[in-house]
Amino acid sequence: MFQRLFCLLLVLFVSPSISTRIPLVGDDWTITNKINHTALGHIPGSIHTILIAAKQIPDPYMGSNDVDLRYLVNTGDWTFTKNFTLTTDILASNQITIHFDQIDTVSNITINGCPIGSTHNMFIAYTFNVTSGCLKTENQIDIDFESPVLYAKRQSIAYNDTVPPNCTPDVQHGECLVQFIRKEPCSFSWDWGPAFAPIGIPGDVYLEAFNTTEIIVQLESVNLASFNAANQTWQVDVMLSSNNDQFTSDLKFILENTTWSYETSIAFNHNLSISLTISDSLVQRWWPNGYGSQPLYNLVVSNQGKIIDSRSIGFRTVQLIQHEYGTGINGSSFYFSINSQPIFVKGSNWIPSDAFQERVSNDKLERLLRSAQLANMNMLRIWGGGIYERNSFYEITDRLGIMLWHDFMFACSLYPVDEPFLNNVHDEIIYQVKRLQSHPSIVLWSGNNENEAAVAENWYQVPIEKMNKTKEDYVELYVNTIMNAVKTVDKGTNRPFVTSSPSNGLESIAEHYIAADPQDPLYGDVHFYGYQNDSWDSTTYPITRFLSETGIQSLPSLDTWYETTSNSSDLVFNNSFILHREHSGNQLTAMMYHIESNLPLPVTNDSLLYFTQMIYLSQINQAMTLKSISDHCRVHSSVDMIDPKTSKGHTMGLMYWQINDIWQAPTWATIEYGLKWKMGHNYVRHMYAPVYPIAILTPYLANVTDENAKISFYIINELVNGMRGDLICSIYSLDSLTPRLTFGGDVSFATTGIQNAFTYPYALLMKRVRCNDSSECIVHCSFNYQQNQIGQTLFLSRPKNYKLSDPNLQIESIKQLSSTDFAITLTVERPALFVWLDVPANVTGYFLPNGFNMLEPKMTVTFHSWEPVTHFDTATLDVQHTSLVGVNYFFLLLLLDKIMSAEQLNLAESIKKVHQQLRNDVNQTPEAAESIWNQHVANTDKLNEYAKSMRQLAQHHWAEKAHGQTRLTWCYTTIKDYFFGNEISGLERKCARDKRKQIVNYICADCQIRIQQRITKPRVLDVGSCYNAFSIYDDLETIAIDIAPADESVHRIDFLRVPQPPLICAHSFDAIIFSLVLDYLPTCHQRLSACLIAHELLTCLGLLVIVEPDSTLRENRQKLWRQALESIGFGLVSNIKVTNLYCMAFRKITQQVKLNEDEHERISQLFNIRQDTMNDNESSKSEQKLISVDEDLFGELPFSSD
């Protein structure tokens, strides 16, 4: 116990006049794992950065090295060694200590063979006493590190109880049991980052020799505890400590740059807390960014006339307002009030900016945080799965006015609660709060990330009999340990504490710290991700009191991707290389869904160009998503916006996920790993502006003839002293820079707030400007106030529907304004949407603005370089530019006939004829459908030619445009999630849900055993396979069949005639895939028969995966198919609309299906599709249209109807 306290108490600064420091950092450390690596390297450093410098390992961020280098931390322990010399003066010192700012993580330290101490928490600085007998002139320090992965495993075994989750999801390629070690949680992987689990010394390390017998007093912490409004005074608490026995200390405190000082003579016995009183009249208030300045004052502490230390402090009050609204309105508020001024929080979530902290420079932190300030942010959330940042980070946030919502480092897991673990946590909290509490930017402590929700919603399927214990453990850790530790140090009323994020705040406390629904939008804060919905539609987002996590992924720039590979062939959307770095399951599929819902897809056979354009589109999608969320939150920010029917409204904060990246990958970040701003960050700067116009069309994307639709125009004002301005709005067509209509008016504010400037009937406006379709027009508004101007564009239709003309976007000039700033003048002849500017990787900086819509003939944009640019010419600053027209479908459709090859047309024509003939024959004599089908199957010559053409077309034309084969990937990831899952498979989730709802599904004994043991390699039947496309997935056991095989691995079998033992037997497949198969069958009765056969072949709870063109299932036919499948013993698992396709997955939930004749006929009719009733001419036109256009990647079947 003494050693533990000693470590904490001596993590202090001592006057240099009474001590000498001997640095131990430098390039002369040797590391070895005594197996395959020994290297000389630099401290601060870790095994990875030292071995990189020694050229013993490749760059961990390249390729799949995050997995290939896993052996470094998985195969054993490491020893760090350094030899150092001490002078006789040092050896004669009264006391010598060794100090580690940070050591990662579990180690034993010896000097010259003498045990010095051990470490077991990377979040604590350690100081150990070194006895004089252990030191000599020539010395050797050895630090023996345990593998953090193996240590966590050993701790888990020793704990003798389950603490889920055991491992990270497979898609993260991560390590297990991180909850058993006090180490950066995300270092074992997360859904946006790699698993390196570093070992080393990322901070400073030194010996300190004390050369005097004088009394030594150390400054532990300074805390701005409270403000007395009645007396207009501040209470500042100072904590001091000393190793000396009781004595009298003469202390003096000076607040620099003021007239305030205070002296006292006081009895001191090891620890002393003293409260200082400072008049408010002597200081200026510290304000968040956008609300005022950030004056900081240095509080200097002296003992016996000698300066001990100092802390920089800022004077501000912090309140977290959680009040009830009164009669008729449920819930309570949740907002920050700083200096009695309510603040609408505009921010983001912060993660570690590198997997190896020693690589993070103060310049990088400065630029990231400066980027937050430039984006009008006033708060960042230090997320609980990362680290407590270094001191310079908090000094920067103090200076920039960036408030911090600070989680403690616990996230997405249950944790052990034995005494050693809780003692370790207690010491961590005490140390970190003392270190950080002087910073005015830290306005709230939070116990954890998402663990209240994890317990309340039982994310980890804890057995019901253990739930009470789980809840008790939660309270023991976050309330009895963490919260109480905070309160013993951070006293006063000036920094609130919440136990979790999300939580219901005071309501969670009332429910014994675990609310029934921690995501209740009427209380506290909410985390929300709406991947299943149109992310541009703001009505799909909840109206909360405070939205502390939300967002969507995008791809980083091409320059950033080239930091991970030198091979351009790796850069293919959705291929294995990209998927390896995508650590969140199905996110690329979701990304594609959202992009294709709103934006035109690239049409090019150049794979690198396609990938480049997908980067651009993904960043547009992220930017517009964040804007939609922010507009939604800000328009509901006023208490007057509370809906009395639902009690929803008064949203007073938004912090999107996430501002920064830990490496190069598809993530939610708006700033890339190399500091390049994505388009989303430019949009954040715009949407977080202190004065901001919002235009809303209600209902979303209304028809131009909708008499009930309206366009509302709002102004948001955060300027405390009010303002006045002019709102001017114009309606444009997409072929002219001359507006069809302009209107507007004056808007004035006495103080902060939101105003509805005006509202107009939508149909009337559209009629006035002769917009007969919403895709013909856009609305653009400009608000001019106090010599400032801010614009806002409202899309009346999805941008993919706009018929854009080439705007002739040009750069007229580039002028250097200073060593770091440039002015770029652009010109257009027609409207240009999402104009994007970029510079080569060797120039780092940001454009203001960027990603904008250009509706005037000339515009000037500025570029700021983080580094001075010398010898400037236009080649030095090679500005690249693009706009949406470069990937617009309608624009490219004009060129399509020119680029479509004769070979492609011939292949498509031969396939079309086969389909036409089959359908025509059946339509002419429907009573002979079965015999016609049999004849079709028997015509092997025709089918062989068909198969050859289909394979050629799919692999060499459609695949070139697919870049990742969306349909195949969706089928694969759906099967993988259902049987493997992340922590819990989809199958297990469904079974658990059935159990909760008391739904009984028959499962035979064999299947029950397989489910319990987890199905490791699902047996899959790929029907209509053609060339066995699913054979690329090694974790599936695939049998491929087709009536027209194009590959020898595909069996020639008519599925309507199965089973065919021993290859195909009843009750033998875990999954069956009908990919573009069912509408090939010419009758609805055959489609039903195929599904009944699939039901017979599937194992208990097996999966039926169906993919069809949307032309087949439009007009709500997908709902009829679902009804039909549910009628024959299937239950829906998932469905999604991807590029021109409907993808559906159903599980088998009944053992047998018996239909009488009437039931068979009725259900068959539900499988009808439009092509069943089309005549030859209609079918030909439909097929010809699709073949000619070759639309959208996987509009594959040439008989699909438009």
User: What average pLDDT does range 883-904 have in this prediction?
Assistant: 52
Measured between alpha carbons, how far is residue 500 from residues 320, 345, 475, 555 in Å?
A: 14, 18, 11, 30
Per-residue pLDDT of 129-138, as tens digits, reads 999 899 999 9
CATH of the domain at 996: 3.40.50.150
d(CA 47, CA 77): 11
CATH of the domain at 96: 2.60.120.260
Query: Residue 1068's CB: how many other CB atoms inside 10 A?
Result: 18
Question: For residues 1193 and 172, which has the higher predicted lDDT (pLDDT)?
Answer: 172
State whether 86 and 7 are in the same domain.
yes
Residue 1150 lies in a domain: yes
Per-residue pLDDT of 97-131, as tens digits, reads 999 999 999 999 999 999 999 999 999 999 999 99
Give the 3-state secondary structure of residue 395: helix
Asked whether residue 294 carries a pLDDT value surpassing 50, the answer given is: yes
Question: Lowest-pLDDT range, 160-169, 174-183, 634-643, 955-964?
Answer: 955-964
Question: Lowest-pLDDT range, 79-83, 742-746, 771-775, 922-926?
Answer: 922-926
Instruction: Quote the pLDDT of residue 211.
Output: 79
Measured between alpha carbons, how far is residue 282 from residues 180, 256, 310, 492, 667 in Å?
A: 49, 11, 19, 21, 47
Instruction: Quote the pLDDT of residue 534.
Output: 92
d(CA 770, CA 731): 11
* pLDDT tier, 1197 (very low <50, low <70, confident <90, very high otherwise): very low
Tokens of 1191: 């639309």
CA atoms within 13 A on the CB side of 620: 30
Instruction: Quote the pLDDT of residue 926.
Output: 86
pTM (predicted TM-score): 0.77
Q: Which of the listed residues 147, 181, 209 is the one where a domain comes to its end?
A: 209
Summary mean pLDDT of the chain: 89
Amino acid in position 865: S
Per-residue pLDDT of 1061-1080, as tens digits, reads 788 888 889 999 998 899 88
Instruction: Quote the pLDDT of residue 622.
Output: 98
Question: For residues 16 and 650, which has the higher predicted lDDT (pLDDT)?
Answer: 650
Instruction: Quote the pLDDT of residue 688.
Output: 98
**DSSP assigned state of 390:** P
Instruction: Quote the pLDDT of residue 917.
Output: 82
State yes or no: cis peptide before 1062, omega within 30 of 0: yes
Q: Helices marked H in 694-795 — which ranges? A: 762-768
Could you list the active site residues? 450, 549
* pLDDT tier, 994 (very low <50, low <70, confident <90, very high otherwise): low
For tokens 């000396």, name the residue. Answer: 244
* Residue whose C-alpha is closest to residue 144's, from 103, 204, 177, 187: 103
**β 335-338/78-85 pair status:** unpaired
Asked whether residue 996 carries a pLDDT value surpassing 80, the answer given is: no
Buried b (16+ CB within 10 A) or exposed e, 1084-1104: bbbbbbbbbbbbbbbbbbbbb
Written as one string, the DSSP assignment of 1047-1088 is STTSEE--GGG--BTTTB-TT-EEEEEEES-TTTSSSHHHHH
Per-residue pLDDT of 811-843, as tens digits, reads 999 999 999 999 999 999 999 999 999 998 888
Asked whether residue 1200 carries a pLDDT value surpassing 50, the answer given is: no
Instruction: Quote the pLDDT of residue 1135.
Output: 78
State whether 670 and 727 are in the same domain.
no
What percent of the chain stands above pLDDT 90? 71
Residue 1159 lies in a domain: yes
User: What average pLDDT does range 873-883 have in this prediction?
Assistant: 79
Residue 1096 lies in a domain: yes
For tokens 């997409």, name the residue. Answer: 734
- Annotated binding-site residues for S-adenosyl-L-methionine read 1024, 1042
Residue 370 lies in a domain: yes
CATH of the domain at 298: 2.60.40.10
State whether 274 and 305 are in the same domain.
yes
State whether 969 and 929 are in the same domain.
yes
d(CA 1196, CA 1187): 9
The two most distant CA atoms of the chain are separated, in Å, by 110
Give the 3-state secondary structure of residue 64: coil
Residue 1131 near residue 986 (C-beta atoms within 8 A): no
Asked whether residue 167 carries a pLDDT value surpassing 50, the answer given is: yes
Tokens of 464: 């019901």
User: What average pLDDT does range 163-179 have in this prediction?
Assistant: 95
Question: For residues 1079 and 891, which has the higher predicted lDDT (pLDDT)?
Answer: 1079
Per-residue pLDDT of 654-667, as tens digits, reads 999 999 999 999 99
What percent of the chain stands above pLDDT 70? 89
Residue 593 lies in a domain: no
Burial class (CB in 10 A: 0-12, 13-18, 19+), 1116: exposed
State whether 92 and 34 are in the same domain.
yes
Question: For residues 757 and 1119, which has the higher predicted lDDT (pLDDT)?
Answer: 757
Q: Which of the listed residues 180, 209, 238 is the one where a domain comes to its end?
A: 209
Q: Provide the domain count of the chain.
A: 6
Per-residue pLDDT of 1045-1060, as tens digits, reads 988 999 999 999 876 7
Asked whether residue 1112 carries a pLDDT value surpassing 80, the answer given is: no
Q: Which of the listed residues 640, 658, 685 is the one where a domain comes to its end?
A: 685
* pLDDT tier, 72 (very low <50, low <70, confident <90, very high otherwise): very high
d(CA 144, CA 159): 24
State whether 1018 and 1097 are in the same domain.
yes
Q: End-to-end CA distance of the chain, in Å? A: 76
Instruction: Quote the pLDDT of residue 1138.
Output: 63
Give the 3-state secondary structure of residue 190: strand
CATH of the domain at 322: 3.20.20.80
Query: Could you list the residue range(s) of the whole structural domain that residue 942 is in?
Result: 925-1174
Asked whether residue 489 carries a pLDDT value surpassing 60, the answer given is: yes
Q: Helices marked H in 210-330 — which ranges? A: none
State whether 729 and 855 are in the same domain.
no
Asked whether residue 363 carries a pLDDT value surpassing 90, the answer given is: yes
State whether 932 and 1054 are in the same domain.
yes
**DSSP assigned state of 993:** H
Positive or negative: CA dihedral 1127, 1131, 1137, 1143 = negative
* Residue whose C-alpha is closest to residue 667's, from 566, 526, 564: 564
User: What average pLDDT does range 197-206 have in this prediction?
Assistant: 97
State whether 120 and 141 are in the same domain.
yes
Asked whether residue 902 carries a pLDDT value surpassing 70, the answer given is: no
Instruction: Quote the pLDDT of residue 858.
Output: 97
Measured between alpha carbons, how far is residue 853 from residues 799, 800, 876, 1130 in Å?
A: 12, 15, 26, 48
Question: Lowest-pLDDT range, 91-100, 231-240, 606-615, 778-787?
Answer: 606-615
d(CA 768, CA 749): 31
Q: Helices marked H in 1043-1189 — which ranges? A: 1084-1097, 1110-1113, 1117-1127, 1157-1166, 1176-1189
User: What average pLDDT does range 457-471 have in this prediction?
Assistant: 96
User: What average pLDDT does range 936-946 have in this prediction?
Assistant: 88
Instruction: Quote the pLDDT of residue 989.
Output: 60
Can you name the residues that pair with 816 across neighbouring β-strands? 822
Residue 920 lies in a domain: no
State whether 501 and 640 are in the same domain.
yes
User: What average pLDDT does range 1162-1169 have in this prediction?
Assistant: 89
d(CA 736, CA 1088): 53
Q: Helices marked H in 240-390 — which ranges? A: 362-374
State whether 782 and 747 are in the same domain.
yes
User: What average pLDDT does range 1181-1196 have in this prediction?
Assistant: 35
Question: Lowest-pLDDT range, 26-35, 238-247, 553-562, 943-952?
Answer: 943-952
Tokens of 851: 């990603």
Sheet holding 723-733, edge to edge: 741-749, 723-733, 777-785, 788-795
Per-residue pLDDT of 534-579, as tens digits, reads 999 999 999 999 999 999 999 999 999 999 998 888 999 989 999 9
Residue 474 lies in a domain: yes
For tokens 């954040």, name the residue. Answer: 684
User: What average pLDDT does range 222-248 have in this prediction?
Assistant: 93
* pLDDT tier, 404 (very low <50, low <70, confident <90, very high otherwise): very high
Question: For residues 897 and 594, which has the higher predicted lDDT (pLDDT)?
Answer: 594
User: What average pLDDT does range 200-209 have in this prediction?
Assistant: 97
Asked whether residue 895 carries a pLDDT value surpassing 80, the answer given is: no
Residue 393 near residue 369 (C-beta atoms within 8 A): yes
State yes or no: cis peptide before 105, omega within 30 of 0: yes
Per-residue pLDDT of 845-862, as tens digits, reads 999 999 999 999 999 999
Instruction: Quote the pLDDT of residue 1201.
Output: 30
Instruction: Quote the pLDDT of residue 357.
Output: 97
Per-residue pLDDT of 494-517, as tens digits, reads 999 999 999 999 999 999 999 999
Instruction: Quote the pLDDT of residue 1139.
Output: 57
d(CA 306, CA 182): 38
Per-residue pLDDT of 17-44, as tens digits, reads 578 999 999 999 999 998 889 999 999 9
* pLDDT tier, 11 (very low <50, low <70, confident <90, very high otherwise): very low
Amino acid in position 26: G
Instruction: Quote the pLDDT of residue 1184.
Output: 39
Written as one string, the DSSP assignment of 504-546 is -THHHHHTTT--S-TT-TTSSBEE---TTS-TT-GGGS---S-
d(CA 442, CA 426): 20
* pLDDT tier, 1114 (very low <50, low <70, confident <90, very high otherwise): low
Asked whether residue 642 carries a pLDDT value surpassing 60, the answer given is: yes
Instruction: Quote the pLDDT of residue 870.
Output: 82
**β 1098-1109/1141-1148 pair status:** antiparallel
Instruction: Quote the pLDDT of residue 519.
Output: 96
State whether 547 and 422 are in the same domain.
yes
Per-residue pLDDT of 263-284, as tens digits, reads 999 988 889 999 999 999 999 9
Question: Lowest-pLDDT range, 411-415, 917-921, 953-957, 1108-1112?
Answer: 953-957
Most confident of 496-510, 1005-1019, 1141-1155: 496-510
Give the angle 690-695-698 at the CA atoms, nearest 5°. 140
Instruction: Quote the pLDDT of residue 3.
Output: 40
Tokens of 38: 């020994």
d(CA 454, CA 447): 14
Residue 584 lies in a domain: no
